[in-house]
Amino acid sequence: MVGDNKAGIATILTMAEYFLTSPQVAHGTIKIGFTPDEEIGRGADLFDVERFGADFAYTVDGGEFGEVEYETFNASSATVTVTGRSMHPGTSKNKMKNASLIAMEFAAMLPAAERPEHTDGYEGFYHLLSMEGEVEKALLTYIVRDHNEDILKSRENRLQETAEFLNEKHGYKAIEVKIKESYRNMESILRDHWHLIENAKKAVEQAGGTPIVKPVRGGTDGARLSFMGLPCPNLGTGNHNCHSRMEFANAQSMDKVVETLVTIAKIYME
């Protein structure tokens, strides 16, 4: 479990502890849920929105204190399978098809400037997550993301067109690309529930912070849940350098996140 998840769970449970030990403090009805295997896994698939019984929610899954996020990427995953033809290297001239080398060709044909390490803001990317290969078979896995759904579709098409080009070049179906939807930009849902954003910003300010509103360069289960009928923007956790060996959570910032959650619960009085 990475730091943003740990920090988020800690702040949510600390908020719950506050209300449980301070029964005199009035607040709206609070529902708490935790989803495993977030966003590109299947964590939200079996989340029972109706049984959960909330009209809306917040995920606590972001970075620094003050983040109020309502835009995510549109995201898909792609599996690229390359089939080769192996034989003895001493007699392989004009016969061998090295799947690993063809996979390298495929990767090299995608725009180098459109990788995560070269993009920011609303710029999308192709991200090579893993690669493995031998002469007879190679496998590449990608995540493909963009805030604009039409551009995401063009990226998916680029993957298929690259495969078609290389298949024609090598004279057989060397490459097969399978694309699967991961999640979509929750902004299209949350624009109709703008009170969630405004009240979160107000709560951050009351906790002494400055709201940080920016597009999420990633995802959150809130995106999945929003499209399942539970409008769900995302809040910061007090965590920094997410998903790296250098990530850390700041205890003072986490205290401010708890204050933010408490204030939101007070705002939504029954």
Of 153, 183, 213, the residue at which a domain comes to its end is 183
With 80 as the cut, is the pLDDT of residue 242 above it? Answer: no
Q: What does each C-alpha distance from 30 to 15, 33, 52, 58, 230 come to in angstroms? A: 10, 10, 10, 11, 14
Torsion of CA 270, 190, 19, 25, to 10 degrees: -40
**Is 84 in the same domain as 159?**
yes
Based on the domain organization, do 134 and 93 belong to the same domain? Answer: yes
**Which of 168, 183, 198 represents a domain boundary (last residue)?**
183
Domain ranges, residue 164: 74-183
Question: Do residues 178 and 132 share a domain?
Answer: yes
To the nearest whole percent, how much of the chain has pLDDT over 70? 96
The per-residue pLDDT for range 169-178, each reduced to its tens digit, is 999 999 999 9
Q: How far apart are CA 190 and CA 12, in angstroms?
A: 22
Give CA–CA dist 132/110, Å, rounded. Answer: 18
How do residues 21-73 score in pLDDT, each as one tens digit? Answer: 999 999 999 999 998 866 555 677 788 999 999 999 999 988 899 999 999 99
Residue 133 pLDDT > 90? yes
Strands 239-240 and 125-133: unpaired
pLDDT at 18 over 90: yes
pLDDT at 250: 86
Pull the structure tokens for residue 213. 């509103």
| Residue 2 binned pLDDT confidence (cut-offs 50, 70, 90) | low
How far is 142 from 129, CA to CA, in rounded Å?
A: 5
Distance between CA atoms of 40 and 125, rounded to whole angstroms? 16
Q: Is the pLDDT of residue 183 over 70?
A: yes
Residue 212 predicted with pLDDT over 70:
yes
What single string gives the DSSP state of each residue in 82-126? EE-B---GGG-TTT-B-HHHHHHHHHHHS-GGGSGGG--TT--EE
Q: Is the pLDDT score of 201 beyond 70?
A: yes
Q: What is the CATH number of the domain that holds 238?
A: 3.40.630.10
Query: Does residue 165 sit in the same domain as residue 189?
Result: no
Q: Are residues 159 and 191 in the same domain?
A: no
Which stretch of 158-162, 194-198, 244-248 has the lowest confidence by average pLDDT?
Answer: 244-248
Average pLDDT of every residue of the chain: 91
**Of 135, 150, 183, which residue is a domain's last?**
183
Same domain, 121 and 178: yes
DSSP 8-state class, residue 244: S
Which of residues 223 and 201 earns the better pLDDT score?
201
User: DSSP 3-state assignment of 136?
Assistant: coil
129 and 84 assigned to the same domain = yes
Q: Do 212 and 68 form a contact (C-beta atoms < 8 A)?
A: yes
Specify whether 139 is located in the same domain as 172. Answer: yes
pLDDT of residue 40: 57
Mean per-residue pLDDT for 108-118? 96
Domain count for the chain, please give it. 2
163 shares its domain with 199: no
| pLDDT greater at residue 245 or residue 124 | 124
Tell me, yes or no, whether 12 and 79 share the same domain: no
